[in-house]
Amino acid sequence: MLKGKNLLCLLDLKKEEIEKIMEVSFLMKDNVYSNSIPKSLEGKRISLIFEKPSTRTRVSSETAISLLGGVPIVMNKNDIQWSRGEPVEDTARVLGRMVNGIGARVLNHETLIKLSNFSGLPTFNLLSDLSHPLQALADYMTIKEKFGEYKTIAFVGDGSDNVLVSLMAFAAKLGLEIRVGTPKLLRPREDIWKRIEEEAENSGAIIEFYDDPYEAVRGSFAVYTDVWVSMGQEEIASKKREMLKDYKVTEDLMKYTAKGGIFMHCLPAVRGEEVEGSVIDGNKSAVWDQAENRLYTAMSVFSLFI
């Protein structure tokens, strides 16, 4: 069903394909804990390109490939000819003759499209300025573990955030609810929002925006945030901090969740900025479960697509 496909954005997949990824993610977790991991990548080589720094994505992707019997080939930007101006297209053509798949963490989403088009290989978005699909898969896996089913997320912070785009894409495909507390000037890109809105109309998903973070959080089961200033946004850092100063996740804000509500963050976090330290390090935090689940969703995706 998924062999040979790309995972560049969750909007590109069918509902049933996303459900299959999630099903296999839980199976992979069971396999790791029982030490019965299928070697579905044996004899295969996957190139992992990092144009941006990484901790969780780097470790989860490289470990996932190794556990499945494959060979991860890690390539930081400064290690390869990209750093000297070689076109992405040329890199992709070479990789297409030597490896079986490409994962890339990039500054510009267009780079992923070029890697796919010119390599002819299954290509995976390990983070771009547009979206972060593997993160959203791990997030919803965590929610299902905690509650037994998918529940309403309240995202508080930057409404144009790439992780939020992937969370909304997941929700739109599966008919779920997301409530976004964000300033009016920080909303998703118009073209991507149009696609999300169309999918939501088809599935019955509810995605609503609120100026007041308390209204967004009220009754939700998970409160999610991300850093206010992403890599590459340093020039507008002070402006974004000013815009988002009233959107910090605090202990007081967490009181407005449904009973048993949890806190979520994709990491890295800036304690004292987008979230209070007592929240992310407190007993409502599911952050470390999210980070662990990055491994199992990566194992699922690599095994199903390559």
What is the pLDDT at residue 232? 63
CATH of domain 10-131+294-305: 3.40.50.1370
H/E segment holding residue 139: helix 133-147
**Could you confirm whether 233 is annotated as catalytic?**
no
- H helix intervals, 159-250: 162-174, 190-203, 213-217, 237-244
Alpha helices in 234-276 (DSSP H): 237-244, 251-254
Residue among 65, 61, 108, 58 at smallest CA distance from 88 = 108
189 is catalytic: no
Per-residue pLDDT tens over the stretch 3-27: 999 999 999 999 999 999 999 999 9
pLDDT at 178: 98
Q: Which amino acid is at 5?
A: K
SS3 169: helix
By mean pLDDT, which of 90-94, 208-212, 227-231 is the weakest? 227-231
- Phi-psi category of residue 83: left, alpha or beta, with phi > 0 → left and psi -120 to 50 → alpha: alpha
CA distances from 290 to 56, 233, 295 (A): 10, 25, 9
| Residues ≥6 apart with Cβ < 8 Å to 107 | 51, 52, 128, 129, 232
Residue 139 is a catalytic residue: no
Concerning whether 290 is annotated as a catalytic residue, the answer is no
Of 9, 58, 129, 135, which is the active-site residue? 135
267-293 pLDDT, tens per residue? 999 999 999 999 999 999 999 999 999
CA 19 – CA 186 distance, rounded (Å): 30
Query: Which of 132, 179, 195, 265 is flagged as catalytic?
Result: 132
Long-range contacts of 281-289 (CB under 8 A, 24+ apart): 282/251, 284/254, 286/142, 286/146, 286/222, 286/262, 287/263, 289/142, 289/145, 289/146
Catalytic residue among 56, 105, 179, 265: 105
Q: Same CATH topology for 10-131+294-305 and 135-291?
A: yes
What percentage of the chain exceeds 90 in pLDDT? Answer: 94
Say whether 135 is catalytic.
Answer: yes
List the one residue out of 178, 183, 155 whose CA is nearest residue 244.
183
Verify whether residue 266 is a known catalytic residue.
yes
Q: Where does the pLDDT of residue 229 fall: very low under 50, low under 70, confident under 90, or very high at 90 and above?
A: confident
Q: Token pair of 242, please?
A: 């000013």
Q: Exactly one of 56, 129, 266, 290 is catalytic; which is it?
A: 266
Edge-to-edge order in the sheet of strand 222-225: 206-210, 177-181, 153-156, 222-225, 262-265
CATH of 135-291, one of 3.40.50.1370, 3.30.565.10, 3.20.20.70, 3.30.360.10: 3.40.50.1370
Of 37-41, 151-155, 200-204, 226-230, least confident by mean pLDDT is 226-230
* Domain parsing of the chain, residue ranges: 10-131+294-305, 135-291
